[in-house]
Structure 1
């Protein structure tokens, strides 16, 4: 819970079995029960609405993040706030983001059809900045202590999403990297 003690306002749990960061709903629930008032986000890839509701209810999630090829009609079928991950693929990403309803938060990440996030690669910050000037976004994609301040200054996102940039190994966050990251965020 180092991230929370350092100031994280959200904690994410990956419920995609093909991810190296996959956690079971039972494991996530045991962590969420001990959390102070921070948001708990479930990351899903091509799950059914029913499965997402079942996991979200069991774990006590506050929102769901769609990180696959889910259809746009899922937004209205989910009874949780939705974060829509969109892979940045040049200027065409702007049009894709424009089609997402304003009540759905957008997370910009690296486009990777296999890993679906956590690649350690950065997105095109110029494209991200163009989008962030029009709507609130979360910025992901290769963020860590070495580049997060520059990313925040360039893009001006609503928030950031970090994973591989603060890990000792997949799914295991390194406290020193987290401390450095939060120090850099404060400086941005």
Structure 2
């Protein structure tokens, strides 16, 4: 499932910041490739791990990515081993040693970076390029420099790159055309409110990728 999500021959869709079981079920019904659950307590889209049991019911039906910010390696490892998530997205300032530790447990890692500090990490499954916002880790709605992102991808052709930051139904097709990522990651661009998904927007995003 992860390999299909990261297939560079097409562009997959990840809807991030899922907080409600009904929203997760609807994403599965629509055939969305992946969902993200944010386990950073300061996020507007925070999902308490104690309320994340519904993710276990989705195993094998959608790629489940757990998003963490400077949490260390134990919390993501525990959720992975409990069967709640399929991959870990490190969206903070984690040291390279965290990536190696998680990979040593057989956990696929997506490393988040901004264009100013993006470089191919040693062990992740993919790199996620997001907009820079001091003190805020994702979900800002800010758009990154697409031509610069495209240049980065061309320079690192063997690295799966996921594009995030300010993508909405109205610009998704153009973002994919210009940047050529293996996937796009959407939070605020697929919502009616933080953590509440808007399925008209989700379907429009799918249509933009078709």
Tell me, yes or no, whether TM beats 0.5: yes
User: Is contact 1:75-1:104 (8 Å) kept?
Assistant: no
Match of 1:148 in 2: 172
Match of 1:23 in 2: 47
Cα distance in 1 for partners of 2:49, 2:83 equals 6
Cα distance in 2 for partners of 1:73, 1:55 equals 19
Cα distance in 2 for partners of 1:62, 1:36 equals 9
Q: Unpaired segments of 5 or more residues in structure 2?
A: 1-24
Structure 1: 4+ residue segments shifted above 6 A: none
TM-score by length of 2: 0.80
Cα distance in 1 for partners of 2:27, 2:34 equals 9
TM-score by length of 1: 0.89
Match of 2:119 in 1: 97
RMSD (CA atoms): 1.6
Deviations 1:52-75, CA, capped at 9 Å, x for gaps? 212332352111000001001111
Stretch of structure 1 that moved more, 48-57 or 142-151: 48-57
Q: How many matched pairs?
A: 180
Deviations 1:117-166, CA, capped at 9 Å, x for gaps? 00011111111111222232000001110110000000000111100001
Match of 1:122 in 2: 143
Question: Aligned with 1:30: secondary structure?
Answer: helix
Aligned runs of 1:46-85 on 2, under 5 Å?
46-78=70-102, 79=105, 80-85=107-112
Give how far 1:102 is off.
5.8
